Each structure stands twice: as structure tokens, then as C-alpha cells.
Chain A
Amino acid sequence: MASRIQNYIDGEWVDAAGIDALPVHNPATCELLALCPESNQADVDHAVQAARAGFAEWRQTPLLSRAQYMHHFKVQMEDRFEEVARTIVIENGKTMDEARGEVRRGIESIDFALGVPFLMRNDGVEDISSGIDETTVRQPAGVFVAITPFNFPSMVPLWFLPVAIVCGNTFILKPSPQTPLSAQLILEMLDDLDLPEGVVNLVHGGVAASTALMEHPGVTGVSFVGSTPVAKIVYETCTRNGKRVQAQGGAKNYIAVMPDANLDASVMNILGAAYGCAGQRCLAAAVAVGVGDAYEPLKEKLRSQAQQLRVGYGLDESSQMGSVVSDAARERIEHMISEGEAAGAEVLVDGRSVDVDGYEGGSFVGPTILADVTPEMSVAREEIFGPVLSLMKADTFDEAIELINGSKFGNGASIFTSNGNYAREFKYHVNAGNIGVNIGVAAPSASFPFGGQKDSFFGDLHGQGADSIEFFTERKVVIERWV
């Protein structure tokens, strides 16, 4: 019998008051891993009260001491690196390499938070007026919440938690109920640090818990990563309730391949971008646009390489692609492939009904390529969030830019070329928050903000980098005269 996991509130592991619970399955083996409680209003009230009470002491804790806690947290993450990666694999389905990459990215965010003492420094001017000095001060703002997705269950919470608390705020994490075990592990490590009660809290659950957090008057701000429809709701709910919010939504990331690109290197990179994490990442390559003469050889090379990818259980290190997160996800992805086929796309590589020996009941979808996709097809417009790459043809570079900018999303876009002018024009004209040049997954490192435009982002300040310092602090201007 799988155990019901607990919330972490006010420095203690506690049972959720909410009675209902959701099953957490290993998507490859179908094993029931745990039951994730549906926390209710009472649980959220408890967490917010604890976080507010903890804020008073925490904001007075010296900044260097706050940063030092994160140094110890990093040591724990390094010590338990393999355990964290394995936990990600068993609840999410990705491969060990992908999980290790995720943990490494999470640690990068902890590293970034160690620099908060430098980044929180103020500026000021003496004698701005006669005998008057004027300075700005950054202060922590209160209680912050992160509502995080299933696809990076360890990394995304770490985009927010370390910076938020080193800035002096207190924090409530509400992870995806599909993948709560990585968050459980993070909080277990934080619990070992003996942080003051209420500084970090974990509330499990789904829509009810999220809504209660977004509407709670005790919450200052909310960070969200998920799909576009939900990001819109999060943004509207938070702004209606007077909170600052950063809501990162879905994506449809295009890759333009120019005839002058190094095709072999480009194809290997595009494969990783399209099929890494089984396509379940907001920077996954979704559409490859072959420009002019690049289209046919690109199509042929992608077909031959994608067919060779080994799909399997993530804990088997010879698996080059793991499962998707659930059977519902598998059904949705397969349905969208069929929809593309019905609309006239050629199914060049078909990942539907893929067989994985020993894991027959698992939620696997093989690498899929849909060729000759046209802009009006749903597979060109809508996010699939699975291992499906659509191929489109553009006669010219300008036409490729037009196709890319025609998307309602603006998370990422990449170009493969050996021509500096194409690269420059691409960077200049494409409306997306993260641009790659000869890189398929244009994922910014922790010291840069994670971009996103159009329907891929709702808010003003992005996650990561200097934006995160702005988001997690309040600026105050002090005007003084002593003479």
C-alpha cells in the first residue's frame, strides 16, 4: 500500500486536512508510488500563517547567514545528487541523463542565490539637493508562492525558492500532484538545515490548493510555470487579488534550418531538442522549418536518426528517450498525431503504439515526425508537449521568419546556419524570449532571465537572473537631511 505523503508547514511534516488524495504513478512501470493529498483552504491558511509568522524573524536574519543556508543546501544536493535524479526518473519518466541535467540546472539556481548579497546592494547619491542624500534600499516583500509543473519537478522549484528566501522572504511551494516526490526530497533536505520555522513550506494538492494560495490575502506574489490556459488564469487571479505574478505558459518552438547549416551537427542537436525529456519541456523543438534546399535532406536525416533512438525506462541508462508523464498524456499526444495525419501531414516516423520490452503498460510514445505540415494544421499551431516534431518548408529566410512570428507563442526559437547575417536578422526580428543560434534548446542559465513573450508569458518580471531579484524584493527610496 502506497503511503500518503505529508505537507511541510511551520518546520514540521503534517498531514493535510484535505481528505482526498491523488495517486502518483511511475509512468513507465505503472507502480503506485504514493498518494498525494488534495490540500484545502485550512491547509493553505495554516501554511500562509506560518510563512507570515516566520517572515518577521527571517527578514532580520543577516543576509550572509541567509545565503549560508543555501550553501549547505547545495552541499546536500550534491551529496544526494543520484537520489534526486532517480526520484525524478521514477515519478516523471525521463532518462537518468535528463534527470541529472535537471538536478545540475537546479544547483545552478542555488549557486545564483549565493550571489544575492551582491545583487541586493543599494545605490545612492549624496547631495542630490542641498544637504540631502538619496538612496534606494531593497527589502524582502513577504510570502511568495511557487506553483510548479510536472516536467521539471526538481529544477523549477529551485528557480524560485533559493533566491526568494535569500532575499529575506518566506516561501510556500505547491508542486504538481503528478510529481510531488522530488519536492518532498527538496523539503527533506531543507528541513535538515534547521531553518527558522515557516521560512519554507510545502503544500500538496491541485486546483483547490492553488486557488486558495492565489486568493489568500497573506500571499505577496506567485510564480507559476505550466500551460498557457492555466498561466492566463493564474495571472488574472493573482492580479485581481493584488499580487505580483510571473506566469510562464506553453510554447510552440520553431527551429529554422538554413541551406548553409552544418546539417549533420544540426540534426543531432535538433533530435535532442525535440525528443529530450520526451518533448515535455517548454523549450522543446516542436517545428523544424527547412528553408529552400535544406528541407529534403533535413527530412531524410531526421527520419533516419529519429528511428534509431532507443525508447525505454529512464533508469536503464541505455534508454535515449523515456516515457511521457501519464497515460492521459500519451492518449492526448497520440490523438494530436492522428489529427495531424487526418489534416494531411505525412507521418514520417510514427511513435504511436511503440513497444517497450518489459514495460508494456508504460506511458510511452516513440519519436514522431510529421512532414509537410502547413501553418493552418493544429500540429503547427498548438502545443503537443510530447515527442512530436513537425516539419515545414519555407522557400526563403523571410518566409521562415513570418512562419515563426505567426505563432501565438513566443517562448523560444532557434536558427541553424553558418551565415552571420542570417543569425543577426533572426535574433533581431523573431518575437521569442529565448533565441538559439546553432543551439536547439535555448535554455538560459540561472544568471539570465528565462525569457518568454506573447502567450508564453504573463507578467513583467521573468524567473531567474536579475529579474528574480526585482520580483522578490521591494524597493524603497530614502531621502535624508541631517544638516
Chain B
Amino acid sequence: MRELNTFGAVLTYAIEIETLLRDAYRETGMAAEAKAADRRRLRLERTRAEHVLEITLEPIHGLAVTDYAELHDVSTDLRDKEAAATAFFQDASPKINVRQAQRVLQRCAREHAAQSNAG
């Protein structure tokens, strides 16, 4: 089981989610959604680089990739993938002890929720 037990592990997984969604939207010709996912990916990459101050690095508990299996299941439709992404970002944001990074994850959760509801 892939553990998401460090700041870097959580942010890297978040970046993977956005990359996965960007590629999926591109494949289905949904350019605006693909662009939005790519913007989030860049924002998360910046967050991983800028808000990692070791003074605040603490172990993270209770997050695992298996809880978001729908994201990696090819049979899941994009709306359900968006719902799984929303759940991940909602679960992850309170686990991160850097306020600025938390805010970015919360914004991602809001955007995915809107996308999921828009269907």
C-alpha cells in the first residue's frame, strides 16, 4: 500500500491526480477542463517547492492511495473521478500543517467539487 505519510508524498500524489485528470480531459476533447487541471498541477508543484520548510515537517497519518482507487480505475467515469479527487483534497488539507499549502489544497477540493457537481 502506497502511504501518503509525508508532506512530499501528499503533494506528489496531488500532482499525479491533476496530471491524470488533465490527460483524461485532453483525450475526451474537454480543453477547458484539461487547462484547469493543468493550472492546479502547476500550483501544486509550486506549493511543494515553496511551502516545504523543514521546521514544520511532521509525520502524516491516515491517508492512503487505496482510499481513492476510483481515480486509477479506467472504468470510472470522469464525474466519479472528480468526486474521488474532491474527497482526497478534502481529506488531505487538514493533515498539512502549513497554512498556505492547506489553502491551496482546499481550493483544489472546491474546484473538483464544482466540476463533479457540474457533471
Contacts and interface: CB of A to CB of B under 8 A. Distances in A.
Interface of A: 78, 81-82, 95-98, 100-105, 268-269, 271-272, 276-277, 305, 308-310, 317-320, 439-441, 443
B73 interface: no
B58 interface: yes
Contacts of B54: 97-98, 101-102, 105, 272, 276-277, 441
B100 to A, nearest CB: 13
A123 B6 CA distance: 49
A277 B54 CA distance: 9
Given A317-B8, A318-B6, A272 B58 contact: yes
Contacts of B12: 317
B42 interface: no
Interface in B1-34: 2-9, 12
Interface in B44-95: 48-50, 52-59
B55 A97 contact: no
Given A104-B50, A441-B55, 15 more contacts: A82-B49, A95-B8, A97-B54, A101-B53, A101-B57, A104-B49, A104-B52, A268-B58, A272-B55, A276-B57, A310-B5, A317-B8, A318-B4, A440-B55, A443-B55
Contacts of B2: 318
Contact size range, B = 20 to 34
B5 A320 contact: yes
Given A81-B49, A100-B49, A318 B5 contact: yes
A154 to B, nearest CB: 13
A172 B53 CA distance: 28
Interface of B: 2-9, 12, 48-50, 52-59
B9 A104 contact: no
Contacts of A100: 8, 48-49, 52
Majority-rule SS of A interface residues: helix
A87 to B, nearest CB: 15
A320 B59 contact: yes
A153 B38 CA distance: 33
A289 B42 CA distance: 44
A276 B48 CA distance: 18
Contact of B9 (A78, A308, A317, A441): A317
15 contacts: A97-B7, A97-B52, A98-B57, A100-B52, A103-B49, A272-B54, A272-B55, A305-B59, A309-B59, A310-B3, A317-B6, A318-B2, A318-B4, A319-B6, A441-B55
Given A97-B52, A100-B52, A318-B3, A269 B9 contact: no
What 9 pairs between A and B have smallest CB-CB spacing?
A101-B54, A317-B9, A97-B8, A318-B3, A100-B52, A317-B8, A268-B58, A81-B49, A96-B8
B49 A78 contact: yes
Contacts, number: 67
Contact of A97 (B3, B4, B6, B50): B6
Given A97-B52, A100-B52, A104-B49, A272 B6 contact: no
A302 B58 CA distance: 13
B53 A268 contact: no
A277 B55 CA distance: 11
Contacts of B56: 272
A120 to B, nearest CB: 28
B49 A97 contact: no
B47 to A, nearest CB: 11
A48 B6 CA distance: 44
B49 A269 contact: no
Contacts of B4: 318
Contacts of A104: 49-50, 52-53
A450 to B, nearest CB: 14
B8 to A, nearest CB: 4
A318 B9 contact: yes
A317 B48 CA distance: 12
A105 B53 CA distance: 8
A98 B9 CA distance: 12
Contacts of B6: 95, 97, 317-320
Contacts of A95: 6, 8
Contacts of A96: 8
Contacts of B53: 101, 104-105
A103 B7 CA distance: 15
Contacts of A78: 49
A268 B59 contact: yes
Contact of A439 (B3, B8, B9, B55): B55
A283 B71 CA distance: 41
A439 B56 CA distance: 9
Contacts of B52: 97, 100-101, 104
A478 to B, nearest CB: 43
Contacts of B49: 78, 81-82, 100, 103-104
B5 A97 contact: no
Contacts of A105: 53-54
Nearest to B1: A318
B55 A271 contact: no
Nearest to B60: A320
A101 B49 CA distance: 8
